[in-house]
Chain A
Amino acid sequence: MKYQTIRLRVNGEERDVAVKPFERLNDVLRATLLLTGTKRGCDTGGCGACTVIVGGRPVYSCMMPAIQAEGKEIVTIEGIARDGKLDPIQEAMIRHGGIQCGFCTPGVIMSAKALLASNPRPTEADIREALAGNLCRCTGYVKIIEAVMMAAEQSGGRKAR
């Protein structure tokens, strides 16, 4: 099959990329656009390390053909800091020890980012549900969930229940 040029909108920038029809968004982000913050983990939609936000929704970039992301806003971990300042979720993850080896962290943060964008005052159950598709083998999740609750409180200004 031949390469085709598609235009992706990644972190607010238009990027023209040559892709084969079956190429996954994960490979295009990492190998073509060199946005390696998004990880490649299990490759089968089970671990969540490759999570990015497409059209406002968290998706596994290893399960989405790049051509299906055309015309939608793609946000990766590289795109959430503003003017050199980390996103409140990134800050909270660092401050509350939600990071150990760091491999799952970009995916976790993107899932949390999508959650807080649609639900600024999540309950702990909401956070657990939103992060259910992101595996972490180091932290045991407690610190991650605390970090997301803190980030929600800080940006939403209301205490999460």
Chain B
Amino acid sequence: MLYEFESRGLLSGVTILIDISKLGLDYVKEDSSGLRIGASTTFTDALRSRQINSRPAFGALADALSAIRPVQVRNVATLGGAICSGLPVLDLPPASVAVRAKIALAGSRGRRTLDVEDFFLGFLETALKRGEFLMEVRVPRPPAHTGSAFQKLETNSVDWAVLSVATSVTLTNDKVSNARIVFGGGVVGAVPRRATEAEEAMVEAAATEDVIGRAAEEASRSTEFADDERASADYRRQVARVLVRESLANSVERARRDKG
């Protein structure tokens, strides 16, 4: 990306570049507040971390990280890069919205933390201000019996997804107490978008196949999909129904296994 900027002349006014990859921000930690993933953690290291793998609640992150192929990319791609590039079409943005991630920024004027939903503003636009950088992605500790998942349809591994979906479900006494359904950006407007009506309709319901099917139906019906060279809006609507259903089913299955 850096080279691409340079070759397009976008770095002509830049005199100093600061490499933050040696600041020790490559870590995955867990404490009482939740998960903390350093900005320069590679996808490979995040995928191998016990903290992410041990909780089905973080399944959406693991799914999204492993959905990036091939291994040569996972070995250099970092969480910070995937979040800060401001490309909401990538897989990590919707997954991070599904798990309610927070974005911890630092800069010359101090530190601040944002909900990831407030971080993505548009295509190549984020809430990052001049002089700020991402320190870590935080995932507040989810309640027990939370499961999350990510799914996408793509024509090949290099292109943007035709559609991507991340979901999370929390069960209380086998009833849904909380649900999130998030579509990846780029095809539902610029930034990831939640299907809030479908989310709300699931709350208090038993997590049955029927309830999941109706939520998927509602999510695909109430969302406006882009009509572009990759797919028609109509096709995306049909794909959405399938992907939301599968992702919710995975989330519920994981929520049942999640011990907190």
- Name A residues whose Cβ lies closer than 8 Å to a Cβ of B: 1, 21-24, 44-46, 48, 51, 54, 57-60, 62-65, 67-68, 111, 129-130, 132-134
A51 vs B70: C-alpha distance in the bound complex, in angstroms?
11
Whether B14 and A1, one on each chain, are in contact in the complex, defined by CB atoms closer than 8 angstroms, is yes
Cβ 8 A contact of A45, one of B15, B17, B72 = B72
How far does the Cβ of B22 sit from chain A's closest Cβ, in whole Å? 8
User: Please, which residues of chain B bring their CB within 8 A of the CB of A57?
Assistant: 44, 71, 75
B23 near A: Cβ within 8 Å? no
User: In the complex, which residues of chain A have a beta carbon less than 8 angstroms from the beta carbon of B44?
Assistant: 57
Kindly list the 9 A-B residue pairs having the minimum CB-CB distance in the complex, ordered from nearest.
A133-B70, A21-B17, A57-B75, A22-B6, A132-B70, A22-B2, A133-B72, A46-B158, A60-B72
Q: In the complex, what residue of chain B is closest to A107 when comparing beta carbons? A: B72
Instruction: Tell me whether A132 and B69 are in contact (CB under 8 A).
Output: yes
Q: B17 near A64 (CB under 8 angstroms)? A: no
- Report whether B71 and A60 are in contact in the complex, using a CB–CB cutoff of 8 Å: no
Q: Are A111 and B72 in contact (CB under 8 A)?
A: yes
Are the C-beta atoms of B21 and A68 separated by less than 8 Å? yes
Which of B16, B21, B76 is packed against the most chain A CB atoms within 10 Å? B76
Residues of B within 8 A of A60 (CB): 72-73, 76
> Nearest CB to that of A58 among chain B residues?
B72
Scan B92-126; emit 1 where CB is below 8 A from any A CB, else 0: 00000000000000000000000000000000000
B11 touches A22 (CB 8 A): yes
Binary per-residue interface labels of chain B (134-162) against chain A in the complex, 1 for a CB within 8 Å, 0 otherwise: 00000000000000000000000110000
User: Cβ of B157: which chain A residues have Cβ within 8 Å of it?
Assistant: 132
**B residues in contact with A51, CB < 8 Å:** 72
Cα–Cα distance between A60 and B70 once the two chains are bound (Å): 10
- Rounded to whole Å, the gap between the CB of A137 and the closest CB of chain B is 15
- Bits for B29-69, please: 1 = Cβ < 8 Å to A, else 0: 00000000000000010000000000000000000000001
Shortest Cβ distance from A132 into B: residue: B70
Q: How far is the CA of A44 from the CA of B44 in the complex (A)?
A: 20
The reply to whether A64 and B76 contact each other, CB–CB distance below 8 Å, is yes
Evaluate contact between A133 and B69: CB separation under 8 angstroms.
Answer: yes
Within 8 Å of chain A (Cβ to Cβ): is B19?
Answer: yes
Q: Min CB distance, B45 to chain A, in Å?
A: 10
Whether B5 lies near A22 (C-beta < 8 A) is: yes
A22 and B6 alpha carbons, distance in the complex (Å): 7
A65 touches B73 (CB 8 A): no
- Pick the contact of A48 from B6, B11, B15, B70 — CB < 8 Å? B70
Q: Which A residues are CB-close (under 8 A) to B17?
A: 1, 21-22
Tell me the complex Cα distance, A133–B17, Å. Answer: 30
- 8 A-B pairs whose Cβ atoms sit less than 8 Å apart in the complex: A22-B5, A22-B6, A24-B3, A59-B72, A62-B3, A65-B3, A68-B21, A132-B157
Q: Which of B2, B15, B71, B72 makes the CB contact (< 8 A) with A65? A: B2
Given contacts A22-B11, A67-B19, contact A130 B6 (CB under 8 A): no
Contacts of A23 in B (CB 8 A): 3
A54-B44 Cα distance, complex, nearest whole Å: 13
B3 with A129: CB separation less than 8 A = no
- Closest residue of chain A to B158, judged by CB? A46
Q: How far is the CB of B63 from chain A (nearest CB, A)?
A: 16
CB-CB under 8 A for A133 and B21, given A59-B76, A63-B76, A64-B76: no
Kindly list chain A residues whose C-beta atoms are within 8 Å of the C-beta of B5: 22
Complex interface: chain A residues within 8 A of B19 (CB): 21, 65, 67-68
Q: Give the docked Cα–Cα distance between A24 and B69 (Å).
A: 21
Are A63 and B11 closer than 8 Å at their CB atoms?
no
Report the Cα distance A67→B71, complex, angstroms: 21
- Give A56 to B8 CA distance when docked, in angstroms: 32
Shortest distance from the beta carbon of B10 to any chain A beta carbon, whole Å: 10
Residues from chain B with Cβ under 8 Å of A111 in the complex: 71-72
